[in-house]
Every structure is written in C-alpha cells, then in structure tokens.
Amino acid sequence: MAYFQSKPVAGRHFLQIPGPTNVPDRVLRAMDNPTMDHRGPDFGLFGKALLEKIRHVFKTTSHVVIYPASGTGAWEAALTNTLSPGDRVLMCETGWFAHLWHEMAGRLGIVADFVKTDWRRGADVAQIEQRLREDKAHAIKAVCVVHNETSTGCTSRIDEVRRAMDAAGHPALLLVDTISSLGSIDYRHDEWGVDVTVAGSQKGLMLPPGLSFNAVSAKALKASETARLPRSFWDWKPMLAANATGYFPYTPATNLLYGLDAAVDMLLEEGLDNVFARHDRHAEATRRAVRHWGFEIQCAEPRHYSSSLTAVRLPEGHSANALRATILERHNMSLGNGLGQLNDRVFRIGHLGDFGDLQLIGTLGGVEMGLRAAGVPHQPGGVQAAMDYLSGNA
C-alpha cells in the first residue's frame, strides 16, 4: 500500500505539519536507487563528497557528523560528547522541545538550569548574560538553545546569544538545536560561534525522518577528549575517523544518504539566501492571513517570528484539536497540534521545505474552509490577504 488512509479521498494529501515535510520527487527518486556496498570504493567516494557538501548548509568549515537517528539522537550526541556527570548547563524553556531537551539532560545526570519564558518568544538573551555573569566559577559548561521552537513558532537570535556569552566573558560551549530551522531560516554555525549544531533530516532538508546531525567546532572536539558521560553509538571519535575516508563505523542509512545528496543539491542550486527569502515570504503571507481572520499568533514578539511555521491561537472556548480534525476529515489536510501547555489551544501551519505559492494558498484555503465548517468565529478573506501580499512581493 503506497499510502494509508482510513477512507478513500480524492486528491493529494496536504501534509502541513511543521515536519516531517513533503519530500520532493527528486529526493524520492534518488532514494529509489539500488543500495550500494557501504564498504566498497564507490561508497567511499560518495560519502566523502557528501560530508564535504553538507557543510555548506550549516555554513561551517568544520566536521558534520551524520547519524542514522531522529533529532533526539543528535540531542543526546551533543550532550554526551561534551559533558560529564554532574556538569551544569544553562537552557532556555522556549517551548515543548526545549522542555524535552532539558528532561534528557536530567536523565543523563546533567544539572540543567532553566531560563523560563512564556512560550511566546525566543530565548531571553539578557537572562542568559546575567546568569553567566553571576557564574564567577564558570561551573556552567554549556548553554543550550533551540533556534526555532517548533511548538510555538518562535525563533531565538543565536547571534545575540553568542554576543551575550562573549560580553559575559564566559567559556561555556554553545549548543544549538536547528531541527526545524536548518535549510529554512538563516543559520551560521561558524560565524555565530556555535560549538555543536543539532539537526534532523525531516524538515528543511526535505527528507523522511531517519538522519540526524552534529556540526562540531574545534572547541567542542577538545571538550570531547575529557567528557565522561557514557557514549558508544553517539561517539564522535570513531565517526570522524571513518568519515575521513568517506565511510561510517557502522552501517549507514545508505538510501537516505542518497536522498540527502539530492536535497543538498536542490538547496545549493536554489541558493541558500533565496531559500531563506522564500520561507520568509511564505511566513509573512501566512501571518497576514491569520491576522485577517482575527486570530493571535502564538509568537508575540515580531523579532522572533518563525519562517518555518506559524502557531495560531484560537479564541477561548474553541478547540484547536476539533478544528484540525474537521480540516483533516473534510479537506484531507494535516496541521500540527498544540504540544504541552498549548495542547488544544493552538494549531500549527507548517510552511517549510519544498513549498511554493500554490501550496501555501491551498493550505490557507483549507484552513479557512475548516474554520467555517467548524463554526470558529473569524473574518473571511484571509486567503485573499495572503494572495495580495504574494502578488505584490513576487
């Protein structure tokens, strides 16, 4: 069966959650190639070229480690390769995924201080700087920030986090989750002084789930020499040793790597700046539709608006989950649900990855029809507001 649906529905399913995203035909065709010998000479040539090429997406000249895992695995790899039991880290509770990373740190024996937010903005840079200035003994070994919080549609300013760390004169490592921003929102591993960048395959990289990444600075590699958290599968050392000749220390996800090769080619052919501008444009069109309907955007700080997704707050007394169910039933479209404290309070529109103007208008049209069918009070014409913006900003 090519695609499971509980009942036959005509037309293409609109997968507009904030990831996994729609996989382009070019990537699917690449993955459809026969699996090659991952110990043979052809794979070594392929792997070495791919490992070099992927650095451009992270904007780094350093190593990028690729795991056959979800982004959660890359979280664990970032922590276990750089930290020791009892180490302190500073984290920012910008939403559900920051909360989960914090929970993981605790389970690994790391003491994680949490900078709280209201889940309506990005990381509190002033609080980060203050906490680091207060840490005279430099007990904090790392600052961990989610670049784009998928649960809220808020993007943290990593360049400002780096400046705050430098202003405080603190030597902590900077670990950044880019799972829902890499390939969709401008990101600069080297320029922003990031030590470990965490990423996943299923969002801006336009692949199915199954690959995750650590981009690693020289400072992070140095820290890994003395880090004492247990690690085996996640250990950078054997990975980097094998990667030097294009190979992996264990069986890689070969066909996903074929897809990654094609996806990176697509991003670089379009040009990363053009990719980011396309995402910015679709995000603004979406926000104009949401405002026209009369709803609040979950992200309350315009400087922190996400270009990957928009989380929409429904009026009190209306169920976001019921609206999503209506839209799926009537219009064959999946939207993201609210997570954690936002459950049933918001729905999330994903507008990232392989995505163009017509897909956006179809998505917003499905939302507007669903609002009417579900009886959610709104001002009709949000789709037109988005079209007016897109037409005037080609």
pLDDT interval class at 10 (50, 70, 90): confident
Percent of the chain beyond pLDDT 90?
96
3-state secondary structure of 199: strand
Rounded Cα distance, 23 and 16, in Å: 12
Are residues 260 and 277 part of one domain?
no
Beta bridge partners, 155, equal: 148
273-311 per-position pLDDT tens digit: 999 999 999 999 999 999 999 999 999 999 999 999 999
Q: Is the pLDDT of residue 253 over 90?
A: yes
> Confidence class of residue 8 from pLDDT cuts 50, 70 and 90?
confident
Look up the CATH number of the domain holding residue 247.
3.40.640.10
pLDDT of residue 4 exceeding 70, the answer is: no
Q: Stretch 102-112: mean pLDDT, rounded? A: 98
Residues 313 and 249 both lie in one domain: no
DSSP H or E run through 266:
helix 254-270
- Segment 138-167 shows an average pLDDT of 98
Asked whether residue 2 carries a pLDDT value surpassing 80, the answer given is no
Q: Both tokens of residue 80? A: 């276990």
β-strand pairing of 111-116 with 148-149: unpaired
259-282: pLDDT as tens digits: 999 999 999 999 999 999 999 999
Question: What integer best gives the mean pLDDT of the chain?
Answer: 97
When pLDDT is averaged across residues 327-340 and rounded to a whole number, the result is 97
Look at the chain and report how many structural domains it folds into. 2
- Among residues 268, 284, 319, the one where a domain terminates is 268
212-216, strands of its sheet edge to edge: 63-67, 212-216, 196-200, 173-177, 140-146, 88-93, 111-116
**CB-CB contact of 95 with 64 (8 Å):** no
Q: What is the predicted pLDDT for the residue at 1? A: 42
Check pLDDT > 80 for residue 363.
Answer: yes
Residue 26 pLDDT exceeds 60: yes
Nearest-angstrom CA–CA distance, 383 and 371: 12
Domain end position, chosen among 268, 293, 326:
268
Give mean pLDDT, residues 145-169: 98
Same domain, 96 and 120: yes
- CB of 166 closer than 8 Å to CB of 191: no
pLDDT higher than 80, residue 386 = yes
**Looking at residues 341-352, what average pLDDT do you find?**
98
pLDDT (0 to 100) of residue 9? 78
Please tell me whether 348 is known to bind a ligand. Answer: yes
Sheet order of strands, 14-16 included = 14-16, 333-337, 346-350, 309-313, 296-297
pLDDT tens for each residue of 195-205: 999 999 999 99
The phi and psi torsions of 221 (rounded to 5 degrees) equal -60, -40
- Give the pLDDT confidence of 41-74 residue by residue, as tens digits: 999 999 999 999 999 999 999 999 999 999 999 9
Same-domain status, 286 and 249: no
| Residue whose tokens read 């954690």 | 340
pLDDT beyond 90 at 366: yes
Query: Is 5 within the bounds of a domain?
Result: no
Last residue of one domain, picked from the residues 268, 303, 323: 268
Do 254 and 287 belong to one domain?
no
Specify the residue for token string 């780094």.
60
d(CA 164, CA 175): 14
Asked whether the beta carbons of 178 and 186 are under 8 A apart, the reply is: no
Domain hosting residue 240, numbered range: 25-268
